[in-house]
Amino acid sequence: MISYGTFQQLSERLVNSEGDVRSLTRDVILNVATGAGGSAAKSQKKSKKQPAERVKRILLIDEVDVFFSRSFYGETYDPVLSLKLDKIAELQNLVWTMKGGDVKMILPALKKTEAYKDLMRDYAGVIDILNSQIAKMCSDLEAWNKGGLDEDFRAYKIIDGKVAYKNGGAYDSKISFGYITLWTYFCEVDSKRVPAAALEEHLGMLINCGQFSYAEIPKRYALILGVTGTLVPETPGGPQPLGYFEQNIIRDDYKITGQTELPSVFGERNLTFRENEVHT
């Protein structure tokens, strides 16, 4: 009954606790597009049933300062469905062939193709979604073309044939920057640093399934416990590692009021700074 995970993995489990949001989103999109009933409608009927009694859960969180970093607190976890359709893949391959020209001319050119017309005919119920995503593909291509070396999406390595973005001190191939990542795969396939099979996995339309606040994650638990060295001053009377803003959130929002201080197992520091012996 114990599971370990990062904040992203924890969010994924919580978001899908009532059903796979990607499968449900796919069903809704395809059912609306074609006017058909199906598993989405069945899922909606099932959701009306009285939910079973929940088991109370405990969250054990390590290093609270990481939770308050810009990557989590105030940010959202955004699960995305990759809707794979042959016509979409055809359009994306076509967009890449036009990457060297005026990006603003790509969208009008796509609308003249048979692939685009077929797509709009076959999925008439979601034309607005299709058009907005195709426009996003083009705008992300422009961002990919013009983005400087300091952009976050430039910080990646090829690991095991996949594009892995920098995530703290490590690299993660599961991180995505939307269609910018798709164009990165196209580029790396052309450079023969990534196999074509890896690109095939990323072809598709990216449908956002919602936004879920990281700040709400702890509130889904009956009890929160934690171990951290960043809640109390390093030395008696020293500066607080966390500001009053964070301390108030811990106390008022998450109702964490109990606190036990334990001495360090490493003992006192023996480092000394001999000013007269150090030259800069």
What is the 3-state secondary structure of 53-67? CCCCCEEEEECHHHH
What φ, ψ does residue 141 adopt, rounded to 5°? -65, -40
Q: Record the tokens describing residue 247, joined without a space.
A: 């301390």
The pLDDT tens digits for 153-209 are 999 999 999 999 987 778 989 888 999 999 999 999 999 999 999 999 999 999 989
Low-confidence ranges of the chain (pLDDT < 70): 33-54, 267-269, 273, 275-280
* 74: alpha, beta or left? (left if phi > 0; alpha if psi -120 to 50): left
pLDDT confidence of residue 47? 44
What φ, ψ does residue 4 adopt, rounded to 5°? -110, 150
pTM beyond cutoff 0.75 = no
